[in-house]
Amino acid sequence: MDKILILDFGSQTTQLIARRVRDLGVYTEIVPGDAELTGNIINSDIKGIIFSGSPESVNGEGAIPDKNVYTFTRADGGAMPLLGICYGLQRMTQDLGGKVESLPHVEYGRIGVKIKDQQEKKSLIQKFLKGFRDSFTAWMSHGDTLTKLAPGFKEVGTSATGYPAVAAHDEKPWFGLQFHPEVTHCENGDSILGAFVFNVCGCEKSWNMEHYIEELNTSLKERAGNNPVLLLISGGVDSTVAGAALLKALDPEQVHLMYMDTGLMRKNETENVKTILSKLGAKNIHVIMCEEEFLSALKGKTDPEEKRKTIGDLFITIQEREVARLKLPDSYLLAQGTLYTDLIESGKGIGKKARVIKSHHNVGSPLVDAKRKAGKIIEPLDKLYKDEVRRLGRFLGVDEEAIRRHPFPGPGLATRILGEITKAQCDILREADAIFIEELKKRKSPREVYLYDEIWQAFAILLPLRSVGVAGDERKYGYVLALRAIISEDGMTADVYPFESHDLLEISTRITNSVKEVGRVTYDISSKPPATIEWE
């Protein structure tokens, strides 16, 4: 499959470049900008390389790519096409003998660009320029500019402020853009990226779900052979879709799905998970009921960190015990719903190359470590972004209900019950939370979208506070419940969802009427930062 490699120099929009190119139908991979470009990174599938932007300067701390990048040839013998974006262009310029200097003022925002040489004779440059309009609005964010192009390069586009905006090499398939074609504010950005990917690199559109599923089926069959595969299921989208992929590719008898009900789950969660997995053809669903163990370990604990640690440790203990109880042969493989974004440090490429591994419930599990060391880990989703996982899930017939689900943290309701956690409190929160979510699935926004789908994550939090109220003629001393609903791209930052006030008022009334222990409902109006999404 044709592939575009992206060298990440730390720009916030590196991920976006990867997404745009994938949306054009071409597979992308991101590696740190200073990665050694050796055999396992550079292979015959790579048809071109994009250098990302960076918050750094080439004259300062900015990272330097492996110098071999300028001498690579492709499998077909031609020179490797390169596209530098912002810092990427400055990097190429500096490395290849041009000059980059600071601008008197940082250029930021929308800026006009004019393509200079429309009579361009060189056919490769012409092919690239096919993606551009003669003049268009681009989006820039740079403090440095090119004051001398590197030998062999010429300026084929200029910004309204008079600086080089598009550069092209006379002989080699090397190009540079001072602006960011990947951001939506750039007019025609997709067609500019498309011109590089298709006209210059000659990529074929081979990245689509049908093709991906075919490849995945073959590779899962090869990896697993006849050995059993164990997948730890949390009930979230990722592990459910990973389960669906395994069940589709392998003999369902081979696939073992293990799910732990810690007692910190949402209302009907365990039943829902079982139904969804059965519908996918699962034969071996191991549901471990361990509410009592978790609640007794949490008894008397109020410190958030201590609560989290208790849950993480117990999770590992039970996981090891239950896996041993299954008596799988040593050759069994462990599957995880790790996503592509879990494996790379998004937008921070440089110096942060750690492979961030998402283990079940976010605990560094010795079982996962041991299996990884033994080369017995399968990660069917490790090439996908979250929305691609959702698309894959739909192709594999995963319930829409499971696909739309809001994220739910590994430690479950424990992050939403402040103070000591008891069964009674879990039950109160479960009821109130279920009403909140049910209402969000029933109500529509002014844009006619269900509130649940417009909101990224919503849930209720039970506070260890009681306040005075009246119920009938009686004084009532009920718990305070907070509601949280946020919009976000990836959970890293979040804004408060701006409900229509009648929705909040009606939801609050329904909760206090139905859950007698709750006396008061508040709405959390804190964004992230400074607050986090969860309360603990």
Active site residues: 86, 180, 182
Distances (CA, A) of 256 to 109, 244, 249, 395, 497: 52, 12, 14, 22, 39
User: How far apart are the two ends of the chain, measured CA to CA in Å?
Assistant: 44
Smallest distance, ligand XMP to C-beta of residue 462, A: 16
- DSSP 8-state assignment for residue 249: H
Of 157 and 337, CB closest to ligand XMP? 337
Of 186 and 311, CB closest to ligand XMP? 311
Return the closest-CA partner of residue 331 out of 284, 378, 382.
378
Smallest distance, ligand XMP to C-beta of residue 179, A: 32
**Contact assessment for residue 202 and residue 80, using Cβ atoms and an 8 Å cutoff:** no
* Maximum separation of any 2 CA atoms in the chain, in Å: 89
Q: Can you state the angle between helices 386-395 and 209-224, rounded to 10 degrees? A: 80
Return the closest-CA partner of residue 509 out of 498, 518, 500.
518
**Contact assessment for residue 174 and residue 82, using Cβ atoms and an 8 Å cutoff:** yes
Question: CA 406 to CA 274: how far, in whole Å?
Answer: 18
**Contact assessment for residue 107 and residue 21, using Cβ atoms and an 8 Å cutoff:** no
Question: CA 174 to CA 196: how far, in whole Å?
Answer: 10
Of 143 and 304, CB closest to ligand XMP? 304
Smallest distance, ligand XMP to C-beta of residue 410, A: 3
Residue from 491, 510, 522, 527 that binds ligand XMP (CB under 6 A)?
Answer: 491
Rule CB under 6 A: say whether 534 interacts with ligand XMP: yes
**Per-residue contact string for residues 494-533; x = within reach of ligand XMP by CB under 6 A:** ----------------------------------x---xx
**Contact assessment for residue 311 and residue 414, using Cβ atoms and an 8 Å cutoff:** yes
Under rule CB under 6 A, how many of the chain's residues touch ligand XMP? 12
Smallest distance, ligand XMP to C-beta of residue 500, A: 24
CA atoms within 13 A on the CB side of 229: 32
Distances (CA, A) of 177 to 53, 144, 454: 10, 13, 35
Rule CB under 6 A: say whether 135 interacts with ligand XMP: no
Smallest distance, ligand XMP to C-beta of residue 411, A: 5
Rule CB under 6 A: say whether 52 interacts with ligand XMP: no
Considering only residues 358 to 417 of the shown chain, the ones binding ligand XMP according to CB under 6 A are 362, 407, 409-411, 415
Smallest distance, ligand XMP to C-beta of residue 534, A: 3
**Contact assessment for residue 269 and residue 376, using Cβ atoms and an 8 Å cutoff:** no
Considering only residues 107 to 126 of the shown chain, the ones binding ligand XMP according to CB under 6 A are none
Considering only residues 412 to 471 of the shown chain, the ones binding ligand XMP according to CB under 6 A are 415, 457
Of 52 and 457, CB closest to ligand XMP? 457
E strands, 240-344, in order: 255-261, 284-289, 333-335
Binding site for ligand XMP (CB under 6 A): 362, 407, 409-411, 415, 457, 491, 528, 532-534
